[in-house]
């Protein structure tokens, strides 16, 4: 069931989402070659705590960290640890904060120093896919129009859309209905109601869209070892358009 949030509830969601936005900005300023992914996770943990929120990911289904940190061929759910971030890497940081009884969720992919032309384009196109996805989005729009537009933009640029993971509704729970795929047929799916809050999060790969999950049970990598990127915002659907809570 898709929950419709009242204006009061949306107001309560602003703060956790602002913290997600600011935390991603803080990571962007501080992330650098030579740090480990665990170092980045520690920054995320303390930033969220210092802002009076809880890192929603920590302990979620047994997940052991505050952020998902996914380097190069890791698509999503990379577990932070002692991997050293290197010049030329692309690093996706996905994090959630819980405050006021609600969750906020966002992700960015950061370029570390000078990256290859292919990785540079991938990061740019993945971000563009988010904005294509929400183009024209407003109450009454068919859900799969989002994925249709994401997929069209990704594939027009020679990239592929990850199928195994999707965006989602968000609110009092980190994952609510509906599931928001990054692919689909135009004009299909439920009509999104005004006041629903969803995470639109393109995950785009240079090569195959097929992934495998490593034995840790979380880390999803591309089967061909080529790079992937991720970009996510929490979005309110309104009568006349959308309001992005994490920008
Ligand atoms: N932010 C992620 C999402 O969009 C949450 C990852 S689940 C976790 O679904 F357990 F890894 F935290
Ligand atoms: Co999400």
At 110-166, the pLDDT tens digits run 999 999 999 999 999 999 999 999 999 999 999 999 999 999 999 999 999 999 999
In a domain, 130, yes or no: yes
H-type helices in 109-157, by residue range?
117-134, 144-156
In a domain, 215, yes or no: yes
CB 169 within 8 A of CB 177: yes
Task: Kindly give the distance from the C-alpha atom of residue 57 to the centroid of ligand 2, in angstroms, as a whole number.
Answer: 10
Structure tokens at 67: 């952020």
Structure tokens at 98: 């819980």
In a domain, 109, yes or no: yes
Per-residue pLDDT, averaged over 43-55, amounts to 98
Question: pLDDT value at position 183?
Answer: 98
Sheet of 211-213, strand order: 74-76, 220-222, 211-213
Q: Which atom of ligand 1 is nearest to the CA of 95?
A: 1
15 dihedral zone (left: phi>0; alpha: psi -120 to 50; beta):
alpha
Tokens 């995470």 sit at which residue? 199
| Of the candidates 238, 204, 207, 213, the residue with the CA atom closest to the CA atom of residue 225 | 207
Task: Kindly give the distance from the C-alpha atom of residue 247 to the centroid of ligand 2, in angstroms, as a whole number.
Answer: 15
70 in helix, strand or coil?
Answer: strand
Residues with CB under 6 A from ligand 1: 57, 60-61, 63, 68, 77, 94, 96, 105, 199, 201
Q: Which ligand approaches the C-alpha of residue 233 most closely? A: 2
In a domain, 199, yes or no: yes
Task: Phi first, then psi: give them for residue 154, nearest 5 degrees.
Answer: -65, -50
Task: Kindly give the distance from the C-alpha atom of residue 112 to the centroid of ligand 1, in angstroms, as a whole number.
Answer: 23
Task: Kindly give the distance from the C-alpha atom of residue 172 to the centroid of ligand 1, in angstroms, as a whole number.
Answer: 15
Task: Kindly give the distance from the C-alpha atom of residue 75 to the centroid of ligand 1, in angstroms, as a whole number.
Answer: 12
Query: pLDDT-derived band of residue 206, with 50, 70 and 90 as boundaries?
Result: very high
Mean predicted lDDT score pLDDT of the chain: 98
Question: pLDDT value at position 111?
Answer: 98
Per-residue pLDDT, averaged over 220-233, amounts to 98
Query: pLDDT-derived band of residue 173, with 50, 70 and 90 as boundaries?
Result: very high
Judged on CB neighbours under 10 Å (0-12, 13-18, 19+), 221 is buried
Identify the domain containing residue 109 by its residue range. 7-244
Cα 84 off chain centre by: 22
Question: pLDDT value at position 8?
Answer: 98
Structure tokens at 183: 């692919």
In a domain, 235, yes or no: yes
In a domain, 2, yes or no: no
Domain count, the chain: 1
CATH number for position 203: 3.90.230.10
Query: pLDDT-derived band of residue 11, with 50, 70 and 90 as boundaries?
Result: very high
Mutate which of 69, 105, 231 for ligand 1 pocket (most atoms within 8 A of beta carbon): 105
Q: Which atom of ligand 1 is nearest to the CA of 58?
A: 12
| CA angle 6–11–15, rounded 5-degree value | 140
């Amino acid at each position: 069931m898709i929950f419709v949030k009242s204006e009061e509830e949306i107001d309560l969601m602003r703060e956790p989402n602002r913290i997600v936005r600011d935390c991603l900005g803080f990571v962007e300023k501080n992330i650098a070659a030579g740090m480990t992914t665990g170092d980045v996770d520690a920054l995320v943990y303390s930033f969220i705590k210092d802002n009076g929120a809880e890192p929603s990911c920590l302990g979620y289904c047994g997940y052991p960290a505050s952020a998902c940190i996914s380097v190069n061929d890791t698509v999503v759910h990379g577990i932070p640890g002692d991997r050293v971030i290197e010049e030329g890497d692309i690093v996706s940081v996905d994090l959630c904060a819980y405050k006021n009884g609600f969750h906020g969720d966002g992700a960015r992919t950061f370029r570390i120093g000078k990256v290859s032309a292919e990785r540079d384009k991938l990061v740019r196109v993945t971000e563009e896919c988010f904005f294509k996805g929400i183009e024209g989005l407003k109450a009454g729009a068919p859900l799969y129009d989002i994925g249709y537009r994401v997929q069209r933009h990704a594939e027009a640029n020679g990239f592929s859309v990850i199928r195994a993971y999707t965006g989602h509704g968000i609110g009092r729970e980190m994952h609510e209905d509906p599931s928001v795929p990054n692919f689909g047929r135009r004009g299909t799916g439920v009509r999104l109601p005004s006041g629903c809050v969803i995470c639109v999060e393109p995950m785009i790969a240079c090569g195959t869209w097929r992934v495998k999950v490593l034995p840790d049970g979380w880390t999803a990598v591309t089967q061909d070892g080529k790079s992937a990127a991720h970009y996510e915002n929490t979005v309110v659907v309104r009568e006349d358009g959308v309001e992005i809570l994490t920008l």
